[in-house]
Amino acid sequence: MSRPLRLVSILLAAIAMQAVIACGSDDSGESDSIKIGLEGPLSGDQSAVGQGMLEGAQLAAAQLNSEGGLLGRDVEIVAIDDKADPDAGVSAANSAIKSGLDGVVGPYNSGVGIETLPIYIKDGLVPIRLTSDNATDSMGYTLQPMTDQIAPVASKAMTDWLDAKKVAIVYDETEDYTLGVAKAVKSQLESSGVEVVAYDPLKPNAKDYSSEVTKLGGSGADVVYAAVYFPEGAKIAQEMLAQNLDAQCLADYGSYDTGYVSDAGMKAAMSCPVVGVPAPGDFKDSAQYVKDFQEDFDAAPGTWSPYAYDSVNFLAEAVKETDGFDADKLNNLLSGVDGFTGWTGTVSIDADTGNRDPATVVVTSVDKNGELHVDKDWAAAVNAPY
């Protein structure tokens, strides 16, 4: 029977970050450090996501090292830049594995993860992923929400909060996650008696989406749901504001990031709430984590910093309990986790999928400081505990 993972409560001040350097081997042939890869979009349009993940992982490693490391060795975070592109991800994953990895956190993009997660698993690693598409179920473990947990929250927000009777859905047709969540939201809405008056694909990286938004505005929808990543979500929010549409805008989880606000601009971002997760400071008892992060990076945590931070500690605690990185032992333990605690709250794992239960899905809105936080009106409308 799997044992529950011990509770983690790391409240020590973080030490200065160490640069990631190549490390050799000692006389026994054992690496000088524990190498944990952090795969994410560290460059390109979604780099804000990846950099926040990387810094969260680095903070966790620094704190572990301040307490003596892991298995008596320092933890080194190895940056793996997949550029939010499956081909780039496969190349980066193979290179990282060749250089030597003990563990891996990530990736973020589901379309990338479908390609890279099997590579890590084949190499004997147990990924702690940040993907959300259910196509990545059972490919390691995750602390963040999945499509089948996101879609019901999004749908209920439109029906119980925004009082939608007619909804137009626009979705990125090139990404596994956005394709899956658009289909799931459509199904949820129709089951609730909502008419989906438009269900339109779009391609990312366009200069603007004026024609698409004009079409959506003419559909008679009460709400436009944009199942896209934040570079496209920001452009759609801008265009809906510019065209002064009567329909309410709601952006999907894929757009949830600080990059959405900076790309869209304050006014447009404030006019289009986003399905997401609590902000780094919205979690209960998060003040010390936020303080530690700010002391180390002289900046606020990124959107996904808490999840990468917890993911490193989640893996590290399992390694401590199993005394190593043996995949069978780690899987046996992690599949039975019930009660791990960290920055993002308390975590239990569904043994069948490796997914977190319950999920931390919320609706967020932009405040006067340009920050995304849990929307209190949404929480009251759906009786959410925020």
How confident is the model over 48-92, as pLDDT tens digits? 999 999 999 999 999 999 999 999 999 999 999 999 999 999 999
User: Is residue 239 predicted with pLDDT exceeding 70?
Assistant: yes
Question: CB under 8 Å to 171, separation ≥6 — which residues?
Answer: 178, 179, 181, 182, 199, 200, 201, 202, 226, 227, 228
Q: What is the pLDDT of residue 386?
A: 81
Q: pTM (2 decimals)?
A: 0.88
Question: Does some domain include residue 212?
Answer: yes
Question: Does some domain include residue 356?
Answer: no
Task: Verify that 376 and 234 share a domain, yes or no.
Answer: yes
Task: Verify that 160 and 111 share a domain, yes or no.
Answer: no
Q: What is the pLDDT of residue 9?
A: 35
Lowest-confidence region among 25-34, 97-106, 204-213:
25-34
Mean pLDDT of the chain: 92
User: Is residue 225 predicted with pLDDT exceeding 70?
Assistant: yes
Task: Verify that 126 and 76 share a domain, yes or no.
Answer: yes
Question: Does some domain include residue 121?
Answer: yes
Q: Which whole number is the average pLDDT over 305-321?
A: 98
Question: Does some domain include residue 326?
Answer: yes
Q: How would you list the strands of the sheet with 362-366, edge to edge?
A: 195-202, 166-172, 223-227, 248-251, 274-276, 362-366, 372-374
Positive or negative: CA dihedral 366, 368, 373, 378? negative
Quote the DSSP letter at residue 256.
-
Q: What is the pLDDT of residue 7?
A: 35
Task: Verify that 170 and 236 share a domain, yes or no.
Answer: yes
Question: Does some domain include residue 12?
Answer: no
Q: How far apart are CA 318 and CA 5, in angstroms?
A: 7
Task: Verify that 44 and 64 share a domain, yes or no.
Answer: yes
Task: Verify that 64 and 207 share a domain, yes or no.
Answer: no
Q: How far apart are CA 214 and CA 360, in angstroms?
A: 34
β-bridge pairing 274-276 and 338-342: unpaired
Task: Verify that 114 and 139 share a domain, yes or no.
Answer: yes
Question: Does some domain include residue 9?
Answer: no
The residue range of the domain holding 322 is 33-145+280-348
Question: Does some domain include residue 13?
Answer: no
Question: Does some domain include residue 26?
Answer: no
CATH code, domain with 259:
3.40.50.2300
Label residues 203-216 b or e (16+ Cβ within 10 Å = b). ebeeeebeebbeeb
Q: How far apart are the first and last CA of the chain?
A: 35
Q: How far apart are CA 66 and CA 57, in angstroms?
A: 14
Task: Verify that 152 and 269 share a domain, yes or no.
Answer: yes
Task: Verify that 287 and 217 share a domain, yes or no.
Answer: no
Number of domains in the chain: 2
Q: For a pLDDT cut of 90, what percent of the chain falls above it? A: 90
The CA-based diameter of the chain, rounded to the nearest angstrom, is: 71
Q: How far apart are CA 209 and CA 202, in angstroms?
A: 9
Task: Verify that 153 and 169 share a domain, yes or no.
Answer: yes
Q: What is the pLDDT of residue 202?
A: 95
Which is more confident, 96 or 5?
A: 96
Task: Verify that 176 and 229 share a domain, yes or no.
Answer: yes
For tokens 């391609």, the residue is 203
Task: Verify that 233 and 162 share a domain, yes or no.
Answer: yes
